[in-house]
Amino acid sequence: MAAWRSANVLVALLVVAAAWIHPGVFTVEGNNAASSPFPAIILLGDSTIDVGTNNDLITVIKSDFPPYGRDLTMQLPKGRFCNGLLVTDYLAQDLGFPYQIPYLQRAGQEQKLLTGVNFASSGSGWVNLTADTYNVISFAKQVDQFKDYKKELISMVGQTQADNIISNALYVISTGTNDYVLSYYVNPLVQKKYSIPAYQQLIRDTATVYLQDLYNEGARNFALASLPPLGCLPAVISIYGNKGLGPEGCVAPLNEVARAGNDVFRHVFMPKLERQLVGSKLVYLDVYTVLFELAANPRAFGYKEARKSCCGTGLVEVAILCNPASFGTCDDSNEYVFFDSFHPTTRTYKLVYDEFVWPVVKAAFNF
């Protein structure tokens, strides 16, 4: 208990981790019930889709302890920054797959690699600075791990079948928030070197390199998540206080940065890159819109609270600051838009999935 209480030395975590349903208890076992238009789901990104990559890393950006995972089967934390399932867990369910295992935890579970894998590492972003600072796995290293994964598939099932899995799999990428909240806005040197437009161009240039690299290895089907409304994250609201608050109670300047970045990413960057990567499909997953609507008018969607999170005081708790000793943690996560000060509850993830992920993926890939 004392160890948990000493976590105040890690107040720097107030700017940690990217944020991105049903009430009740959720399973993490998965199933193989339905046929899928994709042979596998491959996940890359940050804490919005990480299911335990960081568990074995020496980093403060972890969530393999209560109250995280408290609504999963037997209330066992698995390394998700949530009380239950994530958007990509629901996607796996609907496509008939077991949940994708963290690549670093594949020992003894190699057969599961045939239906996909999860490389996502909490605290990472498109730009490597954040990941290096917090000793997590950068997006660049995730791509390197993907190349190793491809070699393992070839050794397991042969070149032809491995190529089929790689080229027809769905690649879900959710990252970018940490490039702002864990890098740009907390690092004066980065701010001095880059204006916001220049920094966003750096992010797009970096993303181009990684997506081209994945394409060169055979990847073709990409679903890319947008930035969330950065100014609506409880930790950001706590840090900024009343400065720059819009009528909905969010920090308007940060939301404008996210909106501007999303607009260029969606309407300029992705169409251009899709033309460049011949035979590819890039699908935009708009998580900004629904999260902003929930934050602006939570009661219209059956929530009681959007400014504070469920964990602890609801103001700053995230990662090891959200722990069994966090005083004030809510009893009912379904009343909150956010579970910790950066990450949504499972109920919120399910709303995002139902409204802006599953219908979009089905329509884009014609199934």
Each as own residue / partner, the long-range contacts of residues 271-274 (CB below 8 Å, 24 or more positions apart, any chain) are 273/208, 273/211
Query: For residue 238, what pLDDT is reported?
Result: 95
**Checking DSSP bridges between strand 116-118 and strand 41-45, what pairing results, if any?**
parallel
For residue 266, pLDDT over 60 is answered with yes
Confidence band (pLDDT; 50, 70, 90) for 17? very low
For residue 18, pLDDT over 60 is answered with no
For residue 39, pLDDT over 90 is answered with yes
Residue 235 sits at the vertex; the CA angle it makes with 233 and 240, to the nearest 5 degrees, is 95
Asked if residue 352 lies in contact with residue 249, where contact means CB atoms within 8 angstroms, the answer is no
Q: Which CATH architecture has domain 2-365?
A: 3-Layer(aba) Sandwich (3.40)
Q: Is the pTM of this model over 0.75?
A: yes
Q: What is the pLDDT of residues 211-255, one digit of tens each?
A: 999 999 999 999 999 999 999 999 999 999 878 899 899 999 999
Q: What is the pLDDT of residues 159-213, one digit of tens each?
A: 999 999 999 999 999 999 999 999 999 999 999 999 999 999 999 999 999 999 9
Report the percent of the chain where pLDDT is more than 90: 84
Domain boundaries in the chain?
2-365
Report the percent of the chain where pLDDT is more than 70: 90
Q: What is the pLDDT of residues 108-150, one digit of tens each?
A: 999 999 999 999 999 999 999 879 889 999 999 999 999 999 9
Query: For residue 78, what pLDDT is reported?
Result: 86
For residue 155, pLDDT over 80 is answered with yes
Counting Cβ atoms within 10 Å, is residue 6 exposed (0-12), middle (13-18) or buried (19+)? exposed
| DSSP percent split of the chain into helix, strand, coil, nearest 5 | 50, 10, 40
Active site (catalytic) residues: 47, 340, 343
Query: For residue 2, what pLDDT is reported?
Result: 38
